[in-house]
């Protein structure tokens, strides 16, 4: 017997979401992004599920890529933040890690290295997000240096990242796309190179920016990047279900309080169910009273503060709740984005901050 809190991971849903990305842009190839422990789902298992489908996997850094290699993953792996020190260039060459290149120091490290095999490089351009990427005026010279180096494969890919792709009516999306396209048109060295602009939101809603390489991340895990309805996002299948059970039931009288600090007070005689899941299991500590939890498939409101190991919910209006009744904190029947909205955060954070304690239970 073990503590019932666990994360159920549906690998078939993961694969179906990847296929959806490919179907939306049939002329493009898609990097399957498994950074941050596959957004909390387990990088090794996610990569094994996606490797037969994806030509390239994507991670943030070389440590994440090495973890996948050690687990037997053989497909190329794109380092989305590139290298952090010059010694990583030789590792990338040896292990077939593709490099995102975003500054002149990285370029210098690449061309000065003594590598076993030429590197596949993606050149990132800052078109308005102002986080990573070369300035547009640096691109032509950077490409000339990379192309002249025997350390670099000829198939350089031009990349950028939208700052507000999830806000469909934000004018910055069109402005960034215009900036990128003008740069390509005016940059002699960029002619004929493949392009990559599309993150999850762009894949789902902006076909003009699909280009040759997609970078699906959040959408792979079955949650929408949007705060409004979107027809394509509605086709996504949730991959993670955070599940547990009712471990205690108690009646309380009107006026009695529940949890640390007594922050919730019953306005009527109530039945309180305690669930084995808390912020030590990835449930947001700042989730307020009223946040929905499913008990045997029916919504019950969170009451009282979230504890490290437990939460409490009001099940007064749900018949036949008993010890062992199923609790779903988020998953196939309760969208993680909805819980995140109550907790004043985003679904990205809830998934990627999932700790190791809840056992991942994988199904195909």
Q: Which residues contact 92 (CB under 8 A, 6 or more apart)?
A: 62, 79, 83, 98, 99, 119
Active site residue 260: yes
Q: Which residues contact 252 (CB under 8 A, 6 or more apart)?
A: 258, 266, 269, 270, 271, 272
The two tokens of residue 265 are: 């007070």
Selected catalytic residue, list 124, 235, 237, 260: 260
Q: Is 131 marked as a binding-site residue?
A: yes
The span from the CA of 138 to the CA of 93, in Å, is: 25
Selected catalytic residue, list 18, 35, 221, 279: 35
The two tokens of residue 243 are: 């599940």
The two tokens of residue 172 are: 């910055």
Angle between helices 171-186 and 136-148 (to 10 degrees): 40
Q: Is 308 marked as a binding-site residue?
A: yes
The span from the CA of 160 to the CA of 173, in Å, is: 12
Give the sign of the dihedral formed by CA 192, CA 206, CA 197, CA 220. negative
| Residue whose token pair is 């929905």 | 292
Cβ atoms of residues 216 and 201 within 8 Å: no
Active site residue 348: no
Angle between helices 87-95 and 62-70 (to 10 degrees): 30
The span from the CA of 327 to the CA of 301, in Å, is: 12
The span from the CA of 261 to the CA of 249, in Å, is: 20
Q: Is 181 helix (H, G, I), strand (E, B) or coil?
A: helix
Q: Which residues contact 82 (CB under 8 A, 6 or more apart)?
A: 99, 100, 101, 102, 106, 124
Residues carrying an active site annotation: 35, 260
Binding site listing: 131, 308
Binding site listing for substrate: 131, 308
């Amino acid at each position: 017997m073990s503590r019932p809190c666990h994360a159920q991971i549906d690998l078939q849903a993961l694969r179906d979401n990847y296929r959806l990305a490919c179907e939306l842009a049939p002329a493009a190839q898609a990097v399957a992004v498994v950074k941050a422990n596959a957004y909390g789902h387990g990088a090794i298992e996610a990569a094994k599920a996606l490797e037969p489908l994806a030509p390239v996997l994507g991670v943030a850094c070389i440590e994440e890529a090495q973890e996948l290699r050690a687990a037997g993953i053989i497909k190329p792996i794109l380092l989305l933040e590139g290298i952090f020190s010059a010694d990583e260039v030789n590792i990338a060459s040896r292990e077939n890690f593709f490099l995102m290149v975003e500054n002149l120091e990285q370029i210098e490290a690449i061309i000065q290295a003594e590598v076993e095999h030429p590197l596949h490089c993606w050149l990132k351009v800052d078109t308005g997000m102002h986080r990573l990427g070369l300035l547009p005026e640096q691109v032509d010279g950077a490409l000339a240096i990379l192309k002249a180096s025997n350390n670099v494969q000829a198939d350089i890919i031009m990349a950028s990242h939208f700052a507000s792709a999830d806000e469909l009516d934000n004018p910055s999306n069109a402005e960034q796309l215009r900036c990128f396209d003008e740069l390509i048109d005016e940059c002699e060295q960029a002619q004929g190179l493949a392009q990559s602009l599309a993150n999850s939101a762009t894949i789902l809603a902006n076909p003009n920016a699909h280009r040759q390489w997609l970078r699906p991340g959040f959408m792979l895990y079955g949650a929408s990047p949007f705060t409004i309805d979107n027809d394509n996002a509605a086709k996504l299948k949730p991959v993670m279900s955070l599940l547990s059970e009712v471990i205690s039931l108690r009646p309380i009288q009107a006026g009695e309080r529940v949890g640390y600090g007594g922050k919730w007070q019953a306005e009527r005689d109530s039945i309180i169910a305690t669930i084995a899941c808390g912020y030590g299991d990835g449930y947001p500590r700042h989730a307020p009273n009223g946040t929905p939890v499913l008990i045997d498939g029916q919504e019950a409101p969170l009451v009282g503060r979230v504890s490290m190991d437990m939460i409490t919910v009001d099940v007064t209006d749900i018949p036949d709740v008993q010890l062992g009744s199923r609790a779903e904190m988020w998953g196939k029947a309760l969208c993680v984005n909805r819980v995140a909205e109550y907790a004043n955060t985003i679904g990205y954070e809830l998934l990627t901050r999932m700790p190791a304690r809840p056992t991942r239970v994988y199904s195909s």
